[in-house]
Structure 1
Amino acid sequence: PTMWRIFKNKSVEEFKFHPIVAGIINCFMWVFYSMPFVHPHSILVTTINSVGLVMYICYNIVYLRYANNQKRKSMFMYYLAEVVFLAALISITLLAFHTHTSRSTFVGIFCDVFGIILYGAPLTVMYKVIKTKSVEFMPLTLSLAGLSNGVIWSAYAFIRFDPYILIGNGVGAILAVAQLILYACYYGSTPKEGKPVKDPVKPTAPQVQMTVSAV
């Protein structure tokens, strides 16, 4: 819904790019983790994160198309950092570690780090939510999907007894709950379509007509 709104309005508005940039490296990390030479017998992890990687690439293309130059530069700096990091990680994994256990441990730790970053990425808009008392730019669907994803993959991790999948997704589920609590707190004060809203920081400022639809 967020990407469709950006495409329809031809503007990224106040939506943050951090979740979709984090999504690329997170999915790539889990695909690498699930490779037979790192952590064998992880076909489900491979398939879902491969699909996720393609989707996040598409999301980034849409966002880049309608972002201003400043945001594009910031995104490309993140991309460069991700490429350098992934190249170093892959090289170290293949050259320094020679067993499935050691490779799984090394890559799994980084997967947890970036998985938690992805789950927490929507919280980058938390300050704006609190300041404006509006959740318009914190998509509910993203938080709900994060919670569902975290719970389901945590259950999968218990069945397979995979501590790395469990830690990353368990913490992710907790972060998603925090997002939903924030959403519930400020949903009532979020401006509805077509209704004027006063700036909460400057009560005397002129009212602004909100014409964009909610996600």
Structure 2
Amino acid sequence: MVETLRLGVAVMGNVASVSLYAAPITTFRRVIRKKSTEEFSCIPYIIGLLNCLIFTWYGLPVVSDKWENFPLVTVNGVGIVLELFYVLIYFWYASSKGKAKVAMIALPLLLVFCIIVTVSAFAFHDNEHRKLLVGSIGLCVSVAMYGSPLVAMKKVIQTKSVEFMPLPLSLCTFLACSLWLTYGVLIHDIFVGGPSVVGIPLSILQLALHCKYRKRSVVEESNKEDMEKGNLEMGNVEKNVTIHKNGNW
């Protein structure tokens, strides 16, 4: 019964986490369409990539005992592909300053991951110490990942607009955190459930900000569209007047 419950929560956690990793697709459609990263931050995606790399390594038999943490490998394997995809798109459409920022953050973090893999694989000779090293670092990175939207939340409060903090991302974060906290408790693994202790309150705060500023953002977007429509109509009127004056009516 307990094993079935663990499996069920793990499957739901996988689905929620894949949804979390896939949520920014709408954001990057906008980036590609506008050929600009606008005010979006690259930090959540780079830290997300590092988090997926570390927990994929944590779930492999090299660190864990056989395949006891196989659900971590499947979901974070998908996460690696998606997060890398986002970082590369961000880098491609970022300004020169933005490209430098991505490189300055991503390259050192990838170097850190390589060091973690090397040390855990060769400096320790038992799963217990490997899990302790990789899990502790993964715990810190996960907390940083869940904390990275604080940059976006600060901007939301300053601008009173949720334009650059997508709602699907906040919803999926809350759901994924809740499920992985449950799974971590069931398997008695603090490194799996621990990050969600930070992630859940932060995701609730994001949802609260959406509730507070969403209506204002919708109204402003509607006003912006009306203004653009009005300017277009005014331009057509001026064009017709000019044609009339030139005798080409």
Fold shared, TM-score > 0.5 on shorter chain: yes
Offset of 1:146 from its aligned partner? 0.7
Offset of 1:144 from its aligned partner? 0.8
Distance in 2 (alpha carbons) for counterparts of 1:195 and 1:126? 23
Q: Does 1:119 align with 2:132?
A: no
Residues 120 and 176 of structure 1 are in contact (CA less than 8 Å); yes or no, is this contact kept in structure 2?
A: no
Could you give the per-residue CA deviations for residues 32-83 of structure 1, whole angstroms, max 9, x where no partner exists?
1111021132111101100010011111122122111111100011111112
Task: Indicate the residue corresponding to 1:195 in structure 2.
Answer: 223
- The equivalent position to 1:59 in structure 2, one of 48, 61, 86, is 86
Distance in 2 (alpha carbons) for counterparts of 1:114 and 1:100? 20
Could you give the per-residue CA deviations for residues 130-161 of structure 1, whole angstroms, max 9, x where no partner exists?
11111111111111111111011111112211
Task: Indicate the residue corresponding to 1:11 in structure 2.
Answer: 36
- The equivalent position to 2:159 in structure 1, one of 127, 132, 150, is 132
Task: Indicate the residue corresponding to 1:92 in structure 2.
Answer: 119
Give the residue type in structure 1 aligned to 2:58.
Y
The structure having more radius of gyration, on CA atoms, is: 2
TM-score, structure 2 normalization: 0.75
Percent identical residues: 31
Unaligned residue ranges in structure 1 (runs of 5+): 198-207, 210-215
Distance in 2 (alpha carbons) for counterparts of 1:176 and 1:36? 32
Structure number with greater CO (CA < 8 Å, separation at least 6) is 2
Return structure 1 stretches of 4+ with deviation > 3 angstroms.
none
**Which structure has greater helix proportion?**
2
Task: Indicate the residue corresponding to 2:54 in structure 1.
Answer: 29
TM-score, structure 1 normalization: 0.86
Give the residue type in structure 2 aligned to 1:146.
T
Corresponding residue pairs, total: 200
Residues 33 and 39 of structure 1 are in contact (CA less than 8 Å); yes or no, is this contact kept in structure 2?
A: yes
Unaligned residue ranges in structure 2 (runs of 5+): 1-25, 229-249
Q: Does 1:109 align with 2:104?
A: no
Alpha carbon RMSD of aligned pairs, Å? 1.9
